[in-house]
Structures are given as structure tokens and as C-alpha cells.
Amino acid sequence: MTAYAAGLRVSELVNLKVSDIDTQRMMIRVEQGKGKKDRYTILSSRLLAELRWYWKHYRPQTWLFPNRKGGPLSIDYAQRVYNLAKQRSGIEKGKTKGQACIDEWSCDGMGDVVASRHGPTRSD
């Protein structure tokens, strides 16, 4: 969800730090993105709510999505997780990520992307 909602590349997603989430400005800092340039992207209210739930339950320290040793996830691992989720959701082969996003997610305002029937389920 974070990658689609914030428009992040996999390499940017795995390198996000907890400190990159700016809740005051509703922005996400992306360090050394494409072209080794820093940039900011929008943090939607829906994504912020999901990230707060995630942080409350997992308490990441430095890396937002750490591996078991506390370092950043590998790009390869993140891609495997994405492909597994795509397979489980029934997204048709041959669709681009953007087409799958439109089919499987609904957009709500300024970059808000919320899970549809295949999204994460949880109870607070």
C-alpha cells in the first residue's frame, strides 16, 4: 500500500526510515531516489492511519520496514512479497502495475489509495 499511495519505487520503499515520515507537513522524504536525488512525496491521511497502525504493532526503530536483523529489506525480498500478494489477489497476468492498481485499489482525493476487497484486514 505504501508504494502505491506514495508513488514510491521499490528501491525507495525499502530504504524508508521512520524519521522520513513528516506528519506535520504530511510528506514523506525520499532520500537518494532515482538519479540519487532527494525528494518529497505526499503522505495521505489514509496512508498515515495505516502507518500509525503498523508502527503501533511493530515498533520499527530506524528502518520503516526492517528485515529480521533490523536493517533495510532487500529489493529482491520486497519484489517477492509484491508478487506473492499479486498472485493471491488474482491480478491478471500481463497487466501493468498501474492497471492492477486501478483494478484492485480505489483512489480517494489527493493521492489517497485505500485497499479494496483484497487489501489488508485487521481489527483495532
- Which residue bears the cell 485487521? 122
**Tens digits of residue pLDDT in 17-75:** 999 999 999 999 998 767 778 999 999 999 999 999 999 999 999 999 999 999 999 99
Question: Under a CB-based contact definition with an 8 Å cutoff, are residues 42 and 111 in contact?
Answer: yes
Which amino acid is residue 79, in one-letter code? Q
Distance CA 74, CA 10 (A): 9
CA dist 21 and 31 (Å) reads 12
| pLDDT attached to residue 111 | 37
Q: Which residue has the cell 498472485?
A: 87
pLDDT digits (tens, 9 = 90+) for 79-110: 998 888 888 888 766 655 554 454 444 443 33
Segment 3-24 mean pLDDT: 92
> In order of start, what are the domains of the chain with their CATH numbers?
2-115 (1.10.443.10)
**Whether pTM exceeds 0.75:** no
Residue carrying the nine cell digits 485497499: 115
In terms of pLDDT, which residue wins out, 116 or 45?
45
In this prediction, residue 3 carries a pLDDT of 85
Cell of 78: 520486497
- Across the range 6-18, mean pLDDT stands at 91
Distances in Å between the Cα of 92 and the Cα atoms of 14, 55, 89, 100, 105 are 25, 32, 9, 8, 14
Which backbone phi and psi does 32 adopt, to 5 degrees? 55, 50
**Would you say 78 and 14 are in contact if contact means Cβ atoms under 8 Å apart?**
yes
Q: What is the predicted pLDDT for the residue at 37?
A: 83
What pLDDT is attached to residue 93?
Answer: 65
What does the pLDDT read at residue 65? 93
What DSSP letter does each residue of 23-36 carry, written as one string? TTTTEEEETT-GGG
Higher pLDDT pick, 113 / 5: 5
